[in-house]
Amino acid sequence: MGMADTIEMKLRAGLKPAKLTVIDESHHHVGHAGYREGGESHFSVEVVSEKFEGLNRVNRQRLVFDLLKQEMETTIHALQIKAQSPSEASAA
């Protein structure tokens, strides 16, 4: 299973998201610090979840980081996160 699948699985389990998109952006970072042969280092996540309701930006991202703690310490070099609550996502 690839890292994008692992991220998706863990976030689905932990956030019960209304919407979730995981994009592997590793190929944008070829030759740059943190890039590894084979990629799987840079990811971008867009997620809409009720769990973000009432949380500030820092705590939303912490929630995502915590679910991916193991991966953040080993494989993932960079994780861009856009975390919205359902009401914000529908207002946008």
Partner 1 sequence: MDNVVADRIRQEVKENDVVLFMKGTPVFPQCGFSATATQILTHLGVKFTSVDVLQDPSIRQGIKDFSNWPTIPQLYVKGEFVGGCDILREMFQTGELQKFFQEKGINAEAQAS
By CB under 8 A, is residue 4 in contact with partner 1? no
Q: Which of 20, 67, 78, 89 is in the footprint of partner 1 by CB under 8 A?
A: 78
Instruction: Map tokens 């529908």 to a residue.
Output: 90
- Residue 25: CB minimum distance to partner 1, A: 10
Contact pick of 23, 50, 62, 90 for partner 1 (by CB under 8 A): 62
Show the binding pattern over residues 11-30: x = contacts partner 1 (CB under 8 A), - = does not. ------------------x-
Residues in the interface with partner 1 (CB under 8 A) total 17
